[in-house]
Amino acid sequence: MTPLAPPARFRGARRSLGEYARNGDSSELRRALGHYVRTGYGGSRTMTRRLGGTAATANRLGGVLQSGRMPDGTELRDAIIAGGNDVNVVLDAIADAASPIDGTQDKEASRRAVRDSLSELLVKYPDADLAALTDVQRLFVIERYAALDVYGRFCLDLQKTVMEKASDAATGLRRLKSIREFVVQQVAAAFRAVRERGLATDTRSIARLTSEALKETLAVFEEYTT
């Protein structure tokens, strides 16, 4: 059972994040992330459990990209052909398959993370065939999705603090971009570490791979408060 969140759970994170928003001090960002995990979510283990939906979505996303088929059995290639030259139609179809709409903010953030991870794939690999990705390309999408979903949750909780405490809107947006990049880097490092320990990267193992990488990332964040 996931423990109930304590009152004012983001107080420490907001304090440090406010300092970061004002002066861009990276040590304050690390401190904010540490408080975010430790106090905001009760520690890395508890937060990893709360992010179980991220691992489940990563698993569905990996399944679609590996098999080239949607959950209803239709071919991803058919969706690509039906979409014509509109890549957004294809990205929406994959997001629908991996993270079906339920009207919640968490789900909308998850769907945005799916689409953004696929968009970044196409920037990094312009010739990628979404219906026949290589293993490297598929794992890039999974890794980037996990990072962007963590960042999306952070924004739901604390984006307002960054924008309010920054000197102006442009500075606030720059700070958010830096936070996004930092989270992406840390999650990428965690995925590398987990793979180096020999954890399988096949479709059946995607949920576990993602969960282990998230746990490692959050454990690093939590240490920033010590």
For the segment 205-218, what is each residue's pLDDT rounded down to a tens digit?
899 999 999 999 99
User: Is 114 within the bounds of a domain?
Assistant: yes
User: Is 68 within the bounds of a domain?
Assistant: yes
The pLDDT score that the predictor gives to residue 198 is: 82
Is the pLDDT confidence value at 120 over 50?
A: yes
Between CA 62 and CA 209, with CA 123 as vertex, the angle to 5 degrees is: 25
Counts for the chain of helices (H) and strands (E), in that order: 10, 0
Q: Where are the alpha helices (DSSP H) in 38-101?
A: 44-50, 52-67, 76-83, 87-98
Q: What is the pTM of this model?
A: 0.91
**Residue 217: which domain range?**
11-223
User: Is 122 within the bounds of a domain?
Assistant: yes
Is the pLDDT confidence value at 79 over 80?
A: no
pLDDT band at 6 (very low <50, low <70, confident <90, very high): low
* Alpha carbon distances (Å) from 127 to 10, 45, 140, 191: 43, 39, 15, 24
Q: Pull the structure tokens for residue 85.
A: 């030259």
Q: Tell me how many domains the chain contains.
A: 1
User: Is 3 within the bounds of a domain?
Assistant: no
User: Is 74 within the bounds of a domain?
Assistant: yes
Q: How far is CA 225 from the centre of its chain?
A: 22
User: Is 162 within the bounds of a domain?
Assistant: yes
* Neighbour-count burial of 36, counting CB atoms closer than 10 A to its CB (0-12 exposed, 13-18 middle, 19+ buried): buried
**What's at 17, amino acid-wise?**
L
pLDDT single digits (tens) 135-176: 999 999 999 999 999 999 999 999 999 999 999 999 999 999
Q: Which of 79, 57, 55 is nearest to 68 (CA)?
A: 79
pLDDT single digits (tens) 165-180: 999 999 999 999 999 9
In percent, how much of the chain has pLDDT > 70? 95
Higher pLDDT residue, 20 or 103?
Answer: 20
